[in-house]
Structures are given as C-alpha cells and as structure tokens.
C-alpha cells in the first residue's frame, strides 16, 4: 500500500462540515504547527512544499490527491508536477496523502474528487505551481550553499548547475536545506512551447505493479486479526429490513456475528468472506419492500412517455427564437422519439471497504473516487471527530462514477462499530453490487425538426423526459429546481455546449425521478443526449436529401472548434471517398467536459442484424494533451464502455428490483468484437478539457448512423440486444 505522510501537528480546534459530501468538504480550523520546521514523509525525507518529497538518493515522491482507477491520472498529474520541477523522470514515484492529513493542513492538496474528467483539468494549475515552487526552493538552497545569486543557477533532470562556474549538485543533496526555506509567494509557470515532459507519451507509473501483481486494491487489504463481512440490502430501493433469524446460522462454519446495518441491510461477519457469504445466503430474512415493489420497467417507461407531452411542465435549458411557432408554420417537419435505459457501472472489483473502529479512532482502507466524501462518511457513521478518523486510499478496480458514492464505506464502519477493535473487511457480492448500483439515468426524448421550402432547418424542439442525477445526489446544485447537468451536450454554453446554430431552438427537460437511484456513469448525460441529437441530425439530413456531414457543417459556422474535430474525423475516415464494398459509415460530434469530440464508424451488416464494427475514428480537442499515449488508451477504453452499453447494456426493473445481477445477463463486449480505434488529437491550446469521458458519447451514434446507412432502418431504442441485433 502507499505510504502516507505524517506531519507533526499540535491541534487546538478542528471543525468540519459534512453537508457537501458529494462535492468536497467545507473546512474551518485553527491548527498551529509545532515541532521542527521541516515536515517529513513517513520515511523521514523532507517535504519541499506539499506536493514534493525528495529523498537523499534523488528519488522524487510526488503527492497525488486524485484517485487512479485505470484512467492514467496518477501518471498525468505526476507529469505536470515533474515538468515544472525539472526532475529526473526515471526517479519519480508517487503516494496518496490522506484526506485526514489534508484537512489537518487546511486542504493543502485541494480537491480529492475524481470524476467528470476533472482529475487533470481542474487541478493542473495548482499542481504545476507545486512543482515550480519546489524547483525554486531547491535552486535557492543550492545558491545559498554556494553563496551566489539564484538567478545564476538552473535546474535540469534533478541536477542544479551554477552556470558561470559550472558547479553542480543534486536535488537529494540540497533537499534538507530547501525544506527549511519559506516557499515563494508566487511562481511563474512555463510557456507550453517550452514543455519537455508534458505532451510526451511516457510510460505509466503504475504498470509494473499491476502486471506483477504487487498493486494493492481494496479487495487485497489485509490487517492483523481481520474478519470478513458479506451484506444484503433490501432488494427494492426504498424498502426496509423487517427481521432476520440469526439463530438459524449461528453454528455455521466460521460465523462470528450477524448484525443489522441501518434500517435496510443485514451483514454476516465470519473468518473468511466465503463463510460469511454462505451463511448470509442461508439466513432467513424478511423485507418490507414497500410501494416501490409495484414498479416495473413498463410503468417507468409509461411515466417518462407522459413527460414528452408539451402540456407537461419542463425546465428550459437552451432557447432562442420561437421553435413551437416555427414548427407550426413549417413547410416540412420531422419527428422522432428515442429512449435510453439504466446502465450499471459493473466495475470488475465489487464495492468494498475495510474498517477498524475503536472508541478513540476509526480508520478505513478503500478505493474511492472522492477521499474527502469517504472521510465525511466515516465521520458520520463513526460519530467520532475528524482528528480521530482517516481514510487510506488504495487503487480502484474500476470506478466509472460508482466509487464517487460512499454507501459501502458507511456500511463498513457501521459493521466495524459493532465489533470494536476488530478490522472488518466488507466485500459486496457481485449480485449485491449489480442490484444496488447508482445507475446511468433513464430517459426518453422527443425531437421535432422543421424545414422551410428550400430544405433549410429553421427550428428544432428537443424535449427530454427522465431522471436528474443532481436531484438525487446533490439537490443543493439544482438551479431553481432545474438540473443544469441534464443538458450536457445540448447546453447553451459552458463545458458541454450545443454545437449547432438553429434559428429557432427549444431544449427542455421534463424531470421524472423513478425510485431507482441514478448516478454519475462514465460520460453521464452526454451519452444519451449525443445519441438523441446526433442520430436525429442524421434523420434531418436524410429528410432534407443532404449528406449527413455537409448538413452538419452548414449549421456549425459559429462553432469552429466543434467543426474542427468533425472535419478531422471526416478526413481520417475518408468520408468523401467510397467506403470498401459492403462497408457503411456513420458520423457524430458532441462537446462534453470541456472538450470537443467527434467520431466516425465503419461497419458492415449481415443478415440484417449482425454488425461488424471494423473501424472507429475519434478526434478530440481537449485544449492540451498531457500524455498522448494515455489519451489514445482513454479513447479506446471509452469505446469499449460505450459499445458495450449500446449492444449489451441496459438494466430492467421488475417488482421494484433490478433484474440483471451478474454478467450472464449484463454482458460486455469481447476482444474479437472490438474494432480498430484511431485517435486523432487536435489540441488547440488555451484551455484544459477532459479526456476520460467525452469520447464515449460519440461511439453509439456513429455506429447507429452507420447502421441506418447500411440497412435503411433507424434504431431509436437501445440496447441493441432488445432489437435482436448482435455483433457479427
């Protein structure tokens, strides 16, 4: 596991607010420092500012506050710091500070939340400044030793050189002195044209440990005297635990205790997890499922369909002109209704956390996308003050938004609290993990487009009906009841803005929130909005008798960055040249998470229902590219996720319960089904966009549009398994 820093602190007061569990913590504290001036890492090496520790052998330890879950943020963030630090990249390693340590130091490491493709883009400025600050301090320490002006010294590859004399020293030799200096109030960051490490496809820092099995995930955590817990929550969301008969399993092998977990769940604690699970399966449990047990996929679909009626109330997210009037007087109009289902995160590592509770301290070891939110959950569940709690982050075996929630952390603490002094590892079964997710929101969309007599698009009405994630998870972020995130990809402006100019436009959301809880799922609302809008754009193009690419281009004159990525994929896929015989193309574009993305697919179809995706080209403009190799992997990975959702995903509800509880009914695409992916990076500079989530949005519409080109049939409801369409 990662080593954690241990600054020496004298504390007088510690006040922490836990209201914003999903978005970081509001902190107020009075915490004077005591002891030696130098703050040291666990191994005694000096800290050069909060982000950098330098060991005597010139090893540089870079602190990473964000979570690594396969997306490469750990390496990318280290690159940002190392670029400004001018250190030897071959001697860079990393460690996670804990949220408890961060709180104690006035959140010196900033936001721990990792989601929404924010890991790099929203922390790049201050982590680069952390590297630059450490570099300045190290140079100053060397200059002081030589009794020369710091301006005469330069740093490169962890070596400091006094230019006039040629004298040199290393970071490791001056680190102790540098750590005693007062950090500069301000530092100047490099001009992007001078970057040497940022923009390079360096090897990831976590690859060796992953391939050798040395990497520790939450499921791997072992503590002395640890017991294991398996849990069952009420299978109907909103239901309660009524009773259970622990006497029936008390004598089963390995069982130590049966405990109630809140109002909704029961857990069995045993010597091994398998013994705990086996006993839990045998435990007689009575649930109070409540009225939600009457809900089904059909009843949810009917409710959402009612929201498509213009007479129903809706929030307006994007508007210009008078779309309804223009449609009413148009020469021709086109209308379509699309839908998108619940999707499960289906991380390979099920939810888990290990908790150790005593009357005086509570610690948790877990994979989490938000260390501060997990910390807040520990405080709430343990009832202990912040200075007596902490969370130790370990590698995530998949996140995709699911581990931004803290239900599993809270459960682990609640169980451990009933067995003080004994470490308890709570591991959800696969079935528990699938049945108690926080799902991609379910939606429907009715779209109407209108043309004048010359086949010019004069109006577009986009009416979304479905769930709001913010309503469920962050109601304080609603704007007069409206969920601004519902308009990702079709918003008027911002980091997920609409990329077309239509004289009369109305984009609105009829909020309908079924009992199945929604959550942030890789790509989130961009996924369904991109399918709806980009497939409908194709419908409009064909209704007007125009090429889908040229139809889009005519609407994108005021959106040059959207147009640039669209042109890039069109050129790479060879849109203006004939495709190979039997191969058909589709195209799509969207903006999400501050980045402009487009995709183009080449497919063939046999027997009308078997699709072979031969090739997908994706272009992205995230402003700056930190590690091109990682961007390529993220693009390819997003298509695995997006195409799996298109072909196989989708959760159904029966009796108020999620029906798909394992991979036999919730499938994922296989290697032989994966197309060739070509990533085209067109960074235009001047802004920082996301990478991990945006491109997933164009995977499905590009393939669906290609399917229409091949068959003349429109697919408006996914997954394709429900249309009896499969991979060839």
**CATH code of the domain containing 583:** 3.30.365.10
- Same domain flag for 230 and 306: no
CA distance 390 to 410: 13
- Same domain flag for 284 and 306: no
Domain boundary at 427, 452, 476, which? 427
- DSSP E strands: which ranges in 367-494? 389-393, 424-427, 443-451, 457-466
Helix (H) or strand (E) holding 697: helix 696-711
State the residue range of the domain holding 597: 297-343+439-727
- Same domain flag for 241 and 386: yes
Alpha helices for 329-429 (secondary structure H): 371-382, 407-416
Rounded alpha-carbon distances, angstroms, from residue 319 to 315, 322, 501, 589: 11, 8, 11, 20
- The DSSP bridge partners found for residue 709 are none
pLDDT of residue 677: 97
8 A C-beta contact, residue 253 and residue 230: no
Residue 538 lies in a domain: yes
- Same domain flag for 326 and 381: no
Residue 25 lies in a domain: no
- Same domain flag for 514 and 390: no
Question: Which residue ranges in the chain fall short of pLDDT 50?
Answer: 1-36
Residue 55 lies in a domain: yes
Domain boundary at 387, 407, 427, which? 427
- Same domain flag for 606 and 577: yes
Domain boundary at 427, 459, 476, which? 427
- Same domain flag for 273 and 327: no
Task: Count the residues in the chain.
Answer: 728
Return the DSSP state at 292.
G
8 A C-beta contact, residue 639 and residue 695: yes
Residue 79 lies in a domain: yes
Q: How many domains does the chain have?
A: 3
Q: Which residues contact 274 (CB under 8 A, 6 or more apart)?
A: none
Whole-angstrom Cα Rg for the chain: 27
Over residues 97-130, the pLDDT tens digits come to 999 999 999 999 999 999 999 999 999 999 999 9
- Same domain flag for 338 and 398: no
pLDDT of residue 104: 95
Global confidence as pTM: 0.94
pLDDT of residue 28: 26
CA distance 43 to 115: 31
pLDDT of residue 630: 96
8 A C-beta contact, residue 270 and residue 246: no
**Tokens, residue 495:** 């980091």
- Same domain flag for 255 and 146: no
Residue 35 lies in a domain: no
Residue 40 lies in a domain: no
- Same domain flag for 716 and 605: yes
Residue 3 lies in a domain: no
- Same domain flag for 530 and 672: yes
Residue 629 lies in a domain: yes
- The DSSP bridge partners found for residue 114 are none
- Same domain flag for 710 and 654: yes
Helix (H) or strand (E) holding 560: helix 560-573
Phi, psi of 663 (to 5 degrees): -75, -5
Tokens 């007062």 locate to 182
């Amino acid at each position: 596991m990662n080593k954690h820093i241990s600054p020496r602190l004298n504390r007088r007061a510690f006040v922490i607010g836990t209201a914003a569990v999903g978005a970081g913590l509001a902190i107020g504290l009075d915490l004077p420092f005591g002891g030696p001036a130098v703050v040291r890492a666990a191994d005694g090496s000096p800290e050069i500012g909060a982000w950098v520790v330098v060991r005597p052998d010139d090893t540089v330890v870079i602190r990473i506050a964000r979570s690594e879950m396969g997306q490469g943020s750990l390496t990318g963030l280290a690159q940002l710091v190392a670029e400004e630090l001018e250190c030897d990249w071959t001697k860079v390693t990393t460690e996670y500070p804990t949220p408890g340590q961060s709180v104690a130091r006035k959140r010196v490491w900033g936001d721990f939340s990792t989601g929404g493709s924010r890991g790099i883009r929203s922390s790049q400025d201050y982590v680069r400044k952390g590297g630059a600050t450490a570099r300045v301090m190290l140079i100053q320490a060397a200059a002081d030793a030589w009794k020369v002006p710091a301006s005469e010294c330069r740093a490169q590859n962890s070596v400091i050189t006094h230019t006039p004399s040629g004298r040199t020293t290393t970071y490791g030799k001056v680190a102790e002195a540098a750590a005693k200096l007062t950090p500069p109030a301000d530092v100047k960051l490099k001009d992007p044209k001078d970057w040497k490490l940022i923009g390079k496809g360096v090897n990831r820092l976590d690859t060796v440990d992953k391939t050798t099995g040395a990497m520790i995930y939450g499921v791997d955590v072992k503590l002395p005297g640890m017991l294991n817990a398996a849990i069952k929550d009420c299978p109907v969301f909103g239901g309660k635990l009524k009773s259970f008969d622990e006497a029936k399993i008390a004598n089963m092998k390995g069982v130590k205790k049966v405990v109630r977990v809140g109002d909704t769940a029961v857990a069995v604690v045993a010597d091994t997890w398998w013994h705990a699970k086996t006993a839990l399966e045998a435990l007689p449990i009575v649930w109070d499922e409540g009225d939600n047990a009457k809900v089904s996929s059909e009843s949810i679909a009917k409710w959402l369909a009612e929201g498509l009626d213009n007479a129903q109330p809706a929030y307006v997210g994007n508007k210009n002109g008078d779309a309804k009037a223009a449609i009413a007087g148009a020469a021709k109009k086109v209308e379509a209704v699309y839908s998108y289902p619940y999707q499960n995160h289906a991380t390979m590592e099920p939810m888990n956390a290990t908790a150790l509770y005593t009357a005086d301290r509570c610690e948790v070891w877990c994979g989490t996308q938000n260390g501060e939110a997990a910390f807040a959950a520990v405080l709430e569940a343990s009832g202990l003050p912040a200075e007596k709690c902490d969370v130790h982050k370990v590698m995530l075996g998949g996140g995709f938004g699911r581990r931004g929630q803290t239900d599993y952390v809270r459960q682990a603490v609640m169980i451990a609290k009933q067995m003080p002094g004994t470490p308890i590892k709570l591991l959800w079964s696969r079935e528990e993990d699938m049945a108690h997710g926080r799902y991609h929101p379910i939606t429907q969309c009715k779209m109407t487009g209108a043309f004048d007599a010359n086949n010019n698009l004069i109006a577009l009405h986009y009416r979304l009906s479905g769930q709001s994630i913010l309503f469920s998870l962050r109601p304080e972020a609603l704007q007069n009841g409206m969920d601004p995130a519902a308009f990702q990809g079709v918003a008027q402006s911002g980091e997920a803005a609409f990329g077309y100019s239509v004289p009369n436009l109305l984009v609105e959301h009829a909020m309908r929130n079924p009992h199945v809880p929604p959550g942030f799922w890789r790509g989130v609302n961009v996924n369904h909005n991109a399918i709806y809008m980009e497939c409908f754009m194709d419908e409009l193009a064909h209704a007007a008798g125009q090429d889908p690419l040229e139809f889009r281009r005519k609407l994108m004159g005021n959106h040059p960055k959207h147009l640039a990525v669209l042109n890039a994929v069109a050129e790479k896929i060879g849109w203006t040249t004939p495709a190979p015989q039997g191969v058909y193309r589709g195209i799509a574009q969207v903006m999400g998470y501050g980045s402009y993305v487009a995709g183009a697919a080449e497919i063939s179809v046999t027997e009308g229902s078997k699709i072979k995706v031969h090739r997908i080209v994706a272009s992205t403009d995230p402003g700056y590219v930190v590690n091109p190799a990682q961007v390529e992997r993220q693009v390819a990975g997003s298509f695995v996720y997006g195409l799996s959702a298109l072909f196989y995903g989708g959760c159904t509800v029966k009796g108020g319960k999620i029906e798909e509880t394992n991979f036999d009914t919730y499938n994922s695409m296989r290697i032989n089904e994966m197309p060739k992916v070509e990533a085209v990076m067109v960074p235009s500079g001047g802004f920082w966009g996301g990478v991990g989530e945006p491109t997933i949005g164009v995977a499905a519409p590009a393939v669906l549009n290609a399917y229409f080109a091949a068959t003349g049939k429109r697919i408006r409801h996914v997954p394709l398994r429900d249309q009896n369409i499969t991979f060839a």
